[in-house]
Amino acid sequence: MRDAVAALAGVSGTVVPATGKLARFMRPSSSRAVLGRELGAFLAGRLPVNLQDQFASAAAFAEGEDPEQWARRTSGLVDLIDDPTRVLAALDQQDLREV
């Protein structure tokens, strides 16, 4: 998590317009957002195939997002997938309530 925060903090968060033939179809993006998406895709690639798309969507790095909050949230998602018993045990200890 520290490495991801350091990497994200080390690149520019300045939004740069897209260039090239397809630029009109692309949203402007910063180097930080691009790196965040690459890190999310890398982590998603380490998961079972049936979870990759959902994880990539949940772990998407939004333009202007705080790198530390993103890394904390993404790390929590990975932990939830790697060790769901800890979360399920915590939920089992909660009082039941009607929704």
At residue 3, the pLDDT reads 64
pLDDT digits (tens, 9 = 90+) for 54-95: 998 888 887 777 888 888 888 888 888 888 898 889 889 999
Identify the residue with better confidence: 18 or 7: 7
CA distance 71 to 5: 6
Domain ranges of the chain: 2-92
What span, in angstroms and rounded, lies between the C-alpha atoms of 99 and 97? Answer: 6
* DSSP assignments along the chain, one per residue: -HHHHHHHHTS---EE---STTGGGS--EEHHHHHHHHHHHHHHHTS-HHHHHHHHHHTPPPTT--HHHHHHHHHHHHHHHH-HHHHHHHHHTSPP---
> Taking Cα atoms as reference points, which of 14, 5, 74 lies closest to residue 41?
74
